C-alpha cells in the first residue's frame, strides 16, 4: 500500500516539473538547455529523497511484520503449553476424585442419605402446623440440600447436628399442646392478634374455632366453614383448660380430614339442592303432618269422650256414641229391625267425622315418592344435557348433578315413610272407634229384640 502511494507521488511530481519547465518560454537554445539541466537536477534530488522515504517506510513495515510474527509464535507456544497443562490437570483431577471416592467410602452414602433426609424434612416442615409457631425452619434444610446437590460439597459436622436437632424438635413438638400469640385472619378478612393453641402438629384452634395454616404466605386464618357444634365445643374446652385431660376432636392427618368434613354440605344445603320439586315435597309433607296432628288430637279427644260415655247410660251429644245412643230414645216403640236401620244411619253420619282427612294423608304418602322420582328424572336430564355440552372430562360435574337429582328422591321417601306409619296409626284408631259404635249399636238392637220377645 505504501509502495503504491510512493509511485503515484513520483509520477505526479515529474509531471509538475515538466509543466513548470516548459511554462516559461526560453529565449534561445542555450537558455532552453540550461532550463532542462536545472529541471533534471531538481527532479533527481526529489527522486532521491522519495527513494529514501520509501526505504525507511519499507524497513518499518518489515519490523512490524517481524514483531507480529514473533507475537504469533509466542501465542502458539503459550497455547501449546496451556493445552498440555490442561491435560495434565485433567489427569490430576481424575486421580484426585478417584482417591477422594476411595477415602470417602461409606461417607458418600451417608451424605446422600443426609441430602435426601434434608429434602424430605423440608417438605414435611412446609405442611406441619408446628411451623406456625416456629417459622423459617425449612430455609436451612433447603440451602443444605441445594449445596450438596449442585456443588457436591460435603456437609460439616455442624450441618449434620442441626439436621438432627430439627428432626428431634419436630418429634418433640408433635407431642405438645402449645400456646402462643399470632395474627389470625378472621372471617371478615381482618387480622386480629389472638391466643392460638397448637395440638401437636395436627390442629390449630383459637376462640373455639379451627384454624388453617398457609405455609406459602405464613398466615393463620379461620376456616370459612367450621365443623359441627360438638367439635367446636371440644375446641373451646381445650383452650379454656389449664391442666388435666380434655376430650378433643383431633384430625390425625393435619387438616385433610377436617377440610373434607367442612366441605360436605349440611342438611339445609342438601335440602336446597332439591330445588323447586324438593320445596313442593316438603310443603305437602308439612301439610300432611299438620293434618295428622289435627286428626291425632281429635281422635284422642273423641276416644276419651266415648270411654266416658261407656261408663254411663245417659246419652250425651258431645260424642259419637252418645248421639248413636240417643237414637234408641228417639224411637222407643219401633221394632228392632227399624231400630237397626236407624242406628246404622246414625253410625254412617258419624263415620265422616271419625275418618275425616285420612284419605288425604294416604294420598300424600303416595304422591311424595312420585314427586321425588319426578325431581330425580328432571335432574338426570339436566345432568345429561351438561354432559352433552361439556363432555365427561369433569367427574365433579356429573357427580354434583346426580347428587342433586337424588336429593328429591330422598326427600320424597322422608315424607312418605312417616306418613304411611301415621296413616296406619290414625286409620286403626278410627276403626277402633267405629267398632265401639257398632258394638254398642248391636247391643241396643239385641236389648230391643229381647223386649219385643217378652
Q: Within 13 A of 408's CA, how many CA atoms are on the CB side?
A: 25
Q: The whole model's pTM is what?
A: 0.55
Name all contacts of 147-154 with Cβ < 8 Å and 24+ positions apart.
148/111, 148/114, 148/115, 148/118, 149/115, 154/111
The pLDDT value recorded for residue 108 is: 67
Determine contact, residues 21/36, Cβ cutoff 8 Å.
yes
Chain CA centroid to CA 204, Å: 19
For 182, phi then psi, to 5°, come to -155, 160
Q: Could you report the average pLDDT of every consecutive run of 10 residues in the chain (454 residues)?
A: 44 44 53 69 76 86 90 90 91 84 68 78 82 81 72 73 86 87 85 88 87 83 81 84 83 76 72 82 92 92 88 82 84 79 87 89 92 86 77 68 82 93 93 89 82 65
Residue 287 grid cell:
301439610
Amino acid at each position: 500500500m505504501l509502495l503504491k502511494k510512493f509511485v503515484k507521488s513520483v509520477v505526479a511530481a515529474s509531471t509538475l516539473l515538466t509543466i513548470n519547465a516548459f511554462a516559461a518560454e526560453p529565449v534561445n537554445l542555450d537558455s532552453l538547455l540550461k532550463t532542462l539541466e536545472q529541471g533534471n537536477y531538481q527532479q533527481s534530488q526529489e527522486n532521491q529523497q522519495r527513494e529514501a522515504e520509501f526505504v525507511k517506510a519499507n524497513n518499518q513495515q518489515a519490523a512490524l511484520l517481524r514483531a507480529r510474527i514473533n507475537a504469533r509464535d509466542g501465542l502458539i507456544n503459550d497455547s501449546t503449553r496451556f493445552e498440555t497443562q490442561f491435560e495434565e490437570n485433567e489427569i490430576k483431577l481424575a486421580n484426585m476424585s478417584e482417591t477422594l471416592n476411595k477415602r470417602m467410602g461409606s461417607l458418600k452414602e451417608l451424605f446422600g442419605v443426609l441430602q435426601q433426609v434434608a429434602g424430605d424434612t423440608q417438605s414435611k416442615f412446609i405442611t406441619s402446623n408446628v411451623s406456625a409457631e416456629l417459622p423459617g425452619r425449612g430455609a436451612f434444610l433447603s440451602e443444605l440440600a441445594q449445596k450438596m446437590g449442585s456443588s457436591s460439597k460435603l456437609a460439616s459436622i455442624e450441618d449434620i447436628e442441626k439436621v438432627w436437632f430439627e428432626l428431634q424438635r419436630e418429634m418433640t413438638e408433635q407431642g405438645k399442646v402449645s400456646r402462643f400469640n399470632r395474627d389470625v385472619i378472621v372471617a371478615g378478612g381482618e387480622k386480629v392478634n389472638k391466643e392460638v393453641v397448637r395440638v401437636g402438629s395436627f390442629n390449630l384452634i383459637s376462640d373455639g374455632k379451627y384454624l388453617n395454616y398457609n405455609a406459602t404466605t405464613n398466615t393463620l386464618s379461620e376456616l370459612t366453614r367450621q365443623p359441627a357444634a360438638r367439635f367446636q365445643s371440644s375446641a373451646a374446652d381445650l383452650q379454656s383448660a389449664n391442666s388435666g385431660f380434655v376430650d378433643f376432636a383431633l384430625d390425625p392427618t393435619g387438616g385433610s380430614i377436617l377440610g373434607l368434613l367442612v366441605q360436605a354440605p349440611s342438611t339445609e344445603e342438601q335440602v336446597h339442592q332439591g330445588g323447586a320439586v324438593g320445596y313442593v315435597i316438603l310443603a305437602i309433607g308439612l301439610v300432611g303432618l299438620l293434618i295428622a296432628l289435627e286428626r291425632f288430637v281429635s281422635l284422642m279427644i273423641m276416644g276419651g269422650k266415648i270411654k266416658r260415655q261407656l261408663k254411663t247410660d245417659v246419652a250425651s251429644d258431645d260424642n259419637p256414641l252418645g248421639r248413636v245412643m240417643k237414637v234408641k230414645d228417639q224411637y222407643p216403640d219401633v221394632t228392632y229391625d227399624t231400630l237397626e236401620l236407624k242406628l246404622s244411619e246414625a253410625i254412617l253420619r258419624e263415620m265422616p267425622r271419625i275418618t275425616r282427612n285420612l284419605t288425604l294423608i294416604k294420598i300424600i304418602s303416595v304422591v311424595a315418592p312420585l314427586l321425588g322420582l319426578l325431581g330425580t328424572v328432571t335432574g338426570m336430564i339436566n345432568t345429561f344435557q351438561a354432559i352433552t355440552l361439556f363432555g365427561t372430562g369433569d367427574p365433579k360435574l356429573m357427580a354434583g348433578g346426580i347428587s342433586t337429582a337424588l336429593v328429591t328422591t330422598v326427600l320424597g321417601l322422608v315424607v312418605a315413610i312417616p306418613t304411611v306409619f301415621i296413616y296406619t296409626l290414625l286409620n286403626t284408631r278410627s276403626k277402633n272407634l267405629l267398632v265401639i259404635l257398632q258394638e254398642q249399636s248391636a247391643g241396643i238392637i239385641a236389648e230391643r229384640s229381647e223386649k219385643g220377645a217378652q
